[in-house]
Amino acid sequence: MLDLDRLRALHAVATHGSVSAAAEALHVTTSAVSQQLAKLERETGQKLLERNGRGVRLTDAAHLLVTHAEGILSLVERAEADLEAHRGVVVGELSVAAFPTAIRGLIPAALASLRAAHPELRVLIREYDPSVSLPLVTRGDVDLAIVQDWNNEPIPVLEGLVKGAICEDVADVALPAGHPLAHREVVDLKELAGDRWISSTPGSICCDWLTHTLRSFDSEPRIDHMAYEFATQLALVAAGLGNIILPRLGRCDVPEGVRIVSLRHSLSRRVYAVWREEAARRPAICAALDALRVSARPAVAAPA
């Protein structure tokens, strides 16, 4: 009979590309993975790995076995989720990947709530952009990802994943106090299209979205400064160096010299959780989703 731990080791090598990367993903030593693979070769009577320069590559037999391993491991995960659901108890370990403002604006309150209600659940948090966290969920490296997209530029969810809405995060614009429109209560984004802008780093969802949105007004964006955290961006706005689009979930203490103005045509980020279909019945995922939704309500409410 094929051993599940050995199949899991082979599957991890196929997924991550090397024995060392598989060991890191499985939280074991490289030696432990190599031993599991050696035992699997003896068990199957087939050579599974071949030297390829300084690394290894899978043989045809290994690729065949990996195809079956994916189905087997998926069934095992579904069975474990069903057993947890049958018990109805929120226990075990739940690994969560989330983008930075979700970690600051949603996670602390949600984790405090989960710890109080379900003390036997251990939640592990990792900070990643959606472009990284979605593949991590697909591969099984994390159980749950908290991701975002914009209402005018959605991102696709990969096959085999399920998503659940957490909140709608409305965005305002932050202007330097000396900006000609800073006295207004509401502005139209196209009135600002020719301005200098501050955004997050290249390739991030927010930077790509801002570029796409401003171009829709026939204006080539002038993004002079790039910084990942909203607190840093606000400091640049306070210095009169440009405007930013500021989702309410990302709002921290607004410094002197910054004016927050509403947008006439609402722009918002959709924040949602994503998990694998096989794990959909896990009570821990349901409990985490409920806690995240509750913690989001005050975080994205309209400022007083």
DSSP H helices, the chain, are 4-16, 19-26, 30-44, 60-87, 100-105, 107-117, 130-139, 205-215, 230-238, 283-299
> Is 303 a residue whose pLDDT tops 70?
no
> Is 300 a residue whose pLDDT tops 90?
no
What average pLDDT does the segment 189-198 reach? 88
pLDDT tier, 292 (very low <50, low <70, confident <90, very high otherwise): very high
CA 148 vs. chain centroid, Å, equals 8
- pLDDT reported for residue 273: 94
pLDDT tens for residues 91-145?
888 999 998 889 988 999 999 999 999 998 999 999 998 888 988 888 888 999 9
- Say what percent of the chain tops pLDDT 70: 93
180 against 92, higher pLDDT: 180
β-partners of residue 243 are 197
pLDDT tier, 14 (very low <50, low <70, confident <90, very high otherwise): confident
- pLDDT reported for residue 109: 93
pLDDT tier, 256 (very low <50, low <70, confident <90, very high otherwise): very high
> How many Å apart are CA 62 and CA 52, to the nearest integer?
15
DSSP secondary structure code for residue 253 in this structure: P
pLDDT tier, 251 (very low <50, low <70, confident <90, very high otherwise): confident
- pLDDT reported for residue 141: 85
How large is the greatest C-alpha to C-alpha distance in the chain, in angstroms? 76
pLDDT tier, 18 (very low <50, low <70, confident <90, very high otherwise): confident
β-partners of residue 98 are 127, 146
> Is 290 a residue whose pLDDT tops 80?
yes
Candidates 172, 176, 168; CA nearest to 186 is 172
Q: Which residue has the tokens 């400064």?
A: 225
| Pair of tokens at residue 242 | 């440009």
Q: Which residue has the tokens 């171009």?
A: 215
- pLDDT reported for residue 23: 81
- pLDDT reported for residue 24: 78
Q: Which residue has the tokens 């990367």?
A: 21
What average pLDDT does the segment 200-219 reach? 78
CA 15 vs. chain centroid, Å, equals 19
β-partners of residue 92 are 121
Task: List CB contacts of 116: < 8 A, sequence separation 6 or more.
Answer: none
> How many Å apart are CA 276 and CA 280, to the nearest integer?
7
List domains and CATH numbers for the chain. Answer: 4-85 (1.10.10.10), 90-166+270-299 (3.40.190.10), 168-268 (3.40.190.290)
> How many Å apart are CA 99 and CA 41, to the nearest integer?
40
- pLDDT reported for residue 83: 66
- pLDDT reported for residue 87: 67
pLDDT tier, 85 (very low <50, low <70, confident <90, very high otherwise): low
> How many Å apart are CA 245 and CA 263, to the nearest integer?
10
- pLDDT reported for residue 72: 74
> How many Å apart are CA 88 and CA 91, to the nearest integer?
9
Do 97 and 136 meet the contact criterion of CB atoms below 8 Å apart?
Answer: yes
Name the residue type at position 107.
I
- pLDDT reported for residue 181: 95
pLDDT tier, 25 (very low <50, low <70, confident <90, very high otherwise): confident
What average pLDDT does the segment 225-235 reach? 90
Using DSSP, state whether 287 is helix, strand or coil: helix
Do 43 and 62 meet the contact criterion of CB atoms below 8 Å apart?
Answer: no
- Say what percent of the chain tops pLDDT 90: 31
Mean pLDDT of the chain: 84
Candidates 219, 220, 215, 214; CA nearest to 189 is 214
> Is 304 a residue whose pLDDT tops 60?
no
DSSP secondary structure code for residue 153 in this structure: B
pLDDT tens for residues 149-164?
876 667 777 778 899 9
